[in-house]
């Protein structure tokens, strides 16, 4: 009997030791301090317990608790390291061994014909090859590059937006976003503008105002894709099998949204292919079509790859850009003293008799500083896109195991009092020098390094031109009963503002 008890005691000790190591253990002795681990979802339980809709804020809490700028945790079976301050984030983003992605994750391959396609969720030589191809040839049509034709197209599209706001709805579809003379629905009103800015480069053609509803439809599909990459999307990432239960959580919406974008690209591909003549390339899509027709074309370009390239390039352009303009305008409505300074600088430098152009950007530093400040305070991609360590390394003095998931906590960095002093205050002046010129920008809304957002320059151009043009011509005010709080956000891959109606009136 004593022998049996002794054996049971030893077994209990072994079980308790294994349980302790499971909950509190680290993959490497010098791994950063981290959250406990629990069955199935690991530390994700604690992240959701801390803030279900915005779990990134829980890491912000634990970083303070552990007094560490780098925090470890377990997202299911994925050991994850989160960098929360400027130095650790820059270190993470500039090391090539940390440029990997979770390429085998079911949630990413399921949207790409079951393959590792596109440039957003792929890595390795194929990713580098496709990224170089896309950026090289997109630049030839004005993507991140100054070109007269592209900027002329931008100006025409902004003219259409101004005419729409001033003249009112021209058809029944526009009555869904414009009514009673001055009531405008955001961000829906901006979707066609954002989409046509991109199509100018991607296909070489913009859709006329009579077809704007088609652009709103694909933009809403892109929004569905983004917004369904939320908390439950994270759960599906770490435990793919739960998509079979509870109506798949957000998985059906995630796939429907992504498929909606891909189908739109496919239709544009068919249209361009049918009208493609000789070597006359109207946009990036024609370059891809020409490569596909060429027997000695780009060796890894296939029609599926082109569709996913287009999907990965267009979904942030159709959503994040109009969402960002909407957020900036909403902040101006909450901070009228900033709006007054913005409009005063525009009136003084430009006036109201002509459209603002990219040439004016250098002469409107307060306008640019306002955009950057709101993007800092309202970090739209608080955790950006997760990286993967392709080999063992170090981060901020801690050891990083191979295949660890690496996260840049841009939210914590953008709200770090050691870096910003008063991070919760909306103060555009922090981006200006004493004499009012643009100073050094240490915010990282588009990331950095090899995984720097491919559309950063394009996005900044869109934000500047669209925001400055709108506030040059209109005043904005809230409508009673509509979402007006700055806390009215929708979680997702990119945090978005809730749709709302605002009163938009021509400036006197």
| Angle 213-215-218 from CA coordinates, rounded to 5° | 110
Q: Pick from 65-79, 281-295, 333-347, 472-486 the range whose average pLDDT is largest.
A: 333-347
Task: Round to whole Å and give the CA distance between 243 and 249.
Answer: 6
Question: What confidence tens digit (pLDDT) does each residue in 64-82 have?
Answer: 889 899 999 999 899 999 9
Q: Pick from 1-5, 199-203, 235-239 the range whose average pLDDT is largest.
A: 199-203
Show me where the domains of the chain are located: 1-109+382-414, 110-379+415-506
- Name beta bridge partners: 476: 504
Question: What confidence tens digit (pLDDT) does each residue in 368-411 have?
Answer: 999 999 999 999 999 888 999 999 999 999 999 999 999 999 99
> Mean pLDDT over all residues of the chain?
91
Q: What are the b/e assignments for 144-180, b being 16+ CB within 10 Å?
A: beebeebbebbbebbebbbebbeeeeeeebbeebbee
Question: What confidence tens digit (pLDDT) does each residue in 157-196 have?
Answer: 999 999 999 999 999 999 999 998 799 999 999 999 999 9
pLDDT for 246: 60
| Ramachandran quadrant class, 439 (left: phi over 0; alpha: psi -120 to 50; beta: rest) | beta
pLDDT for 340: 98
pLDDT for 396: 95
How confident is the model over 215-220, as a mean pLDDT?
96
State percent of the chain over pLDDT 90.
63
More confident residue, 342 or 48: 342
What fold is seen in the domain 1-109+382-414? Answer: 3.30.43
**By the 8 A CB rule, do 341 and 366 touch?**
yes
How confident is the model over 32-39, as a mean pLDDT?
92
CATH classification code of 110-379+415-506 = 1.10.630.10
Compute and round to an integer the Cα radius of gyration of the chain. Answer: 24
Instruction: Tell me the pLDDT band of 296, cut-offs 50, 70 and 90.
Output: low
Q: Indicate if the pLDDT at residue 247 is higher than 80.
A: no
pLDDT for 17: 77
pLDDT for 209: 95
Q: Which residues, at least 6 apart from 143, have a Cβ–Cβ distance to it below 8 Å?
A: 135, 201, 284, 455, 457, 458
Question: What confidence tens digit (pLDDT) does each residue in 114-162 have?
Answer: 888 888 888 888 888 888 888 899 999 999 888 999 999 999 999 999 9
Task: Round to whole Å and give the CA distance between 63 and 41.
Answer: 20
What pTM value is reported for the model? 0.94
**By the 8 A CB rule, do 508 and 474 touch?**
no
Instruction: Tell me the pLDDT band of 299, cut-offs 50, 70 and 90.
Output: low
For residue 134, what are the CA distances in angstroms to 22, 127, 140, 449?
A: 44, 10, 10, 17
More confident residue, 202 or 25: 202
- Give 24's Cβ-side CA count (13 Å radius): 3
How confident is the model over 322-332, as a mean pLDDT?
97
For residue 453, say whether it is annotated as part of any ligand binding site. Answer: yes
């Amino acid at each position: 009997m004593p022998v049996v008890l002794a054996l049971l005691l030893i077994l209990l000790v072994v079980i308790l030791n294994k349980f302790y190591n499971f909950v509190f253990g680290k993959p490497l002795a010098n791994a950063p301090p981290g959250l406990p681990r629990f069955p199935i979802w690991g530390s994700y339980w604690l992240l959701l317990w801390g803030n279900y809709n915005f779990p990134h804020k829980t890491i912000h809490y634990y970083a303070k608790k552990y007094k560490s700028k780098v925090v470890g945790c377990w997202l299911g079976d994925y050991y994850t390291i989160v960098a929360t301050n400027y130095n650790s984030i820059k270190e993470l983003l500039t090391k090539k061994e940390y440029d990997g992605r979770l390429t085998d994750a079911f949630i990413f391959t399921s949207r790409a014909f079951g393959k590792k396609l596109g440039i957003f969720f792929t890595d390795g030589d194929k990713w580098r090859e496709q990224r170089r191809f896309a950026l090289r040839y997109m630049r030839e049509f004005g993507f991140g590059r100054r070109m007269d034709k592209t900027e002329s197209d931008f100006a025409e599209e902004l003219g259409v937006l101004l005419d729409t706001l001033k003249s009112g709805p021209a058809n029944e579809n526009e009555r869904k976003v414009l009514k009673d003379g001055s009531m405008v629905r955001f961000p829906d009103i901006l979707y066609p503008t954002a989409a046509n800015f991109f199509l100018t480069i991607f296909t070489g053609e913009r859709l006329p105002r009579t077809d704007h509803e088609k652009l709103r439809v694909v933009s809403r599909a892109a929004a569905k894709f983004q917004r369904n990459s939320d908390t439950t999307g994270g759960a599906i990432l770490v435990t793919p099998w739960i998509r079979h239960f509870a109506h798949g959580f957000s998985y059906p919406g995630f796939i429907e949204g992504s498929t909606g974008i891909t189908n739109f690209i496919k239709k544009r591909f068919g249209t361009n292919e049918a009208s493609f003549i000789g070597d006359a390339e109207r946009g990036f899509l024609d370059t891809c079509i020409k490569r596909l027709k060429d027997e000695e074309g780009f060796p890894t370009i296939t029609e599926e790859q082109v569709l996913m390239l287009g999907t990965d390039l267009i979904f942030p352009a159709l959503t994040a850009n109009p969402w960002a303009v909407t957020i900036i305008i909403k902040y101006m409505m909450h901070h009228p003293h900033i709006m007054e300074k913005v409009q005063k600088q525009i009136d003084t430098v430009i006036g109201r008799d002509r459209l603002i152009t990219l040439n004016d950007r250098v002469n409107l530093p307060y306008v640019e500083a306002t955009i950057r400040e709101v993007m800092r305070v309202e970090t739209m991609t608080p955790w950006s896109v997760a990286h993967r360590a392709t080999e063992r390394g170090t981060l901020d003095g801690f050891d990083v195991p191979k295949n660890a998931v690496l996260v840049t906590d841009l939210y914590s960095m953008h709200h770090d009092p050691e870096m910003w002093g008063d991070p919760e205050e909306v103060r555009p002046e922090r981006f200006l020098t004493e004499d009012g010129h643009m100073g050094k920008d240490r915010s990282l809304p588009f990331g950095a390094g090899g995984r720097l957002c491919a559309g950063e320059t394009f996005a900044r151009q869109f934000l500047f031109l669209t925001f400055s043009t709108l506030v040059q011509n209109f005043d904005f005010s809230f409508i009673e009963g509509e979402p007006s709080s700055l806390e009215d956000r929708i979680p997702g891959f990119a945090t978005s503002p809730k749709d709302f109606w605002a009163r938009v009136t021509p400036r006197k």
